[in-house]
Structure 1
Amino acid sequence: MDESAGIIRIWDDIHYMHSQRRFLLLFGILVLYGIPLLVIAGLETSWSLYTLLRIAGVWGFISLSLGALLNLKKGAVKSQFGRPFIRIHHYFAISGLILITIHPVLYAYLALDPGVFIPDFSSLYAFFATGGRTALILLYVAFCAGLVRMALKNRWRYIHILVYPALIIAAVHANLIGQTMTHPLIYLIINGLALSVCCTFVYMRVHKMNPGSGRHRTDR
């Protein structure tokens, strides 16, 4: 009886710790989305399409970045979110793609300029300052590769990783001309996620070239 009670207590402790981690994870994600909303709402004297434009841009970047970062711990996603990795990944990726599309669509409507979707190659600065245009194209190419991955077989992965350079270009674009980036919290969130995406990409490439490295480190 004492042994059984001890096992039950250990199981309850593990379950409690697991629930705490899930709560902290979900709370952290909520805060990540909530901070830009509060900051942007506080900077605006009244809500407008321009306000929604800015929120969509920041939220879209956050969603796409989280979708990419999930690749680091695919096995832990189901235990933390209660859903398969691919489903959670798609939630973030699709919502991010929709939001990041709303961003230039609203800008084109407000500026009455459909040319905002065309990349500018007039100079290096112009290319990166308007890099959101290039990033959007790369994101859609990567998304389409995921849709037809069965037809492309393993080759789809080489196209799908365009998400990573797209996010980096989008971050540079935000730093160069994003007015919301003047706020230190937004600046920290966007650049922190961009750095994390870079590290994720490098880690995954190194791990793929040397798949046994992680196992050897664990053994040690």
Structure 2
Amino acid sequence: MPLTRMGWVLSVLILALYAGVTAVVLTNPSPDPFSLFVRLSALWGFLALGIATILTAFLRDIRRVFGRPFLAVHHTFAAFGILFPTLHPVALALQTANPAVFIPVFDSWTAFWTLAGRPALYLLYIAVAGVLLRQTIRQYWRWVHGLMYAALFLAIVHGNLSGTDFANPGIFVVFNGLFAAVIVVFIVRRLQRMRSQKKRQATAGSGT
């Protein structure tokens, strides 16, 4: 199926969002290319993960709008949502010559939340593993994959507490608004699942 008009509109809006975020970062110059990439990779990654998560609330509409199966669209954003958050600490480690940037900090409440991006990365990997192992852990893979929400929570806290670009009002509003949308999707998906479960139970009960 070809991309529909709504699909084109949404695609342009997403590209404009990325372009706007990138422009904001570029207007606040970094001292070196590593610093610039550290900032951009964090923001690009969160955008991709946030969009991938929000799309789950529109399972039946994605093919109609984008002309492609839901999983193809979802996994495209998810792939970038894994790549850039991985490159973010890699670039920081190369810049600072300090591999400790991968190690979560637990000896201080303030430090843990300020550096919450570190445990967020590992939760992200575990959430992805839940999908890869869904045939093995059929009863639990959704719970494991649901750790993506916890990863996004830790990431947004990390961004608000230590992100250079969160001092910009536009970045602050866009990314916190995106996370608020993720929370709405979380609630909607849980309600949908509860209704679906009740229907199955009702159907099973009427058949006995």
TM-score (norm 1): 0.84
- The alignment's C-alpha RMSD in Å is 1.8
Deviation at 1:212, TM superposition (A): 8.0
Distance in 1, Cα, partners of 2:24 & 2:138: 44
Equivalent in the alignment of 2:59: 74
Q: Does 1:31 align with 2:16?
A: yes
String of CA shifts for 1:149-186, please: whole Å, max 9, x gaps. 11111311110000011101100100001011111111
- Is contact 1:65–1:197 with CA below 8 Å preserved after alignment? yes
**C-alpha distance 45-158 of structure 1, shift in aligned 2 (>3 A):** closer
5 Å-filtered alignment, 1:6-17, equals none
Equivalent in the alignment of 2:154: 169
**C-alpha distance 184-152 of structure 1, shift in aligned 2 (>3 A):** same
Deviation at 1:62, TM superposition (A): 0.3
Amino acid across the alignment from 2:56: N
SS at match of 2:196: coil
String of CA shifts for 1:100-131, please: whole Å, max 9, x gaps. 11111111111111111111111222111100
String of CA shifts for 1:35-77, please: whole Å, max 9, x gaps. 1111111111676121111111000000011111011001111
Deviation at 1:27, TM superposition (A): 1.2
Equivalent in the alignment of 2:72: 87
Structure with bigger gyration radius? 1
5 Å-filtered alignment, 1:1-220, equals 19-44=4-29, 48-211=33-196
TM-score (norm 2): 0.89
Distance in 2, Cα, partners of 1:105 & 1:47: 15
Distance in 2, Cα, partners of 1:123 & 1:47: 30
Structure 2: which 5+ runs fail to align? 199-208
Amino acid across the alignment from 2:171: I
Deviation at 1:148, TM superposition (A): 1.5
- Number of residue pairs matched? 197
SS at match of 2:107: coil
- Is contact 1:128–1:169 with CA below 8 Å preserved after alignment? yes
- Is contact 2:4–2:64 with CA below 8 Å preserved after alignment? no
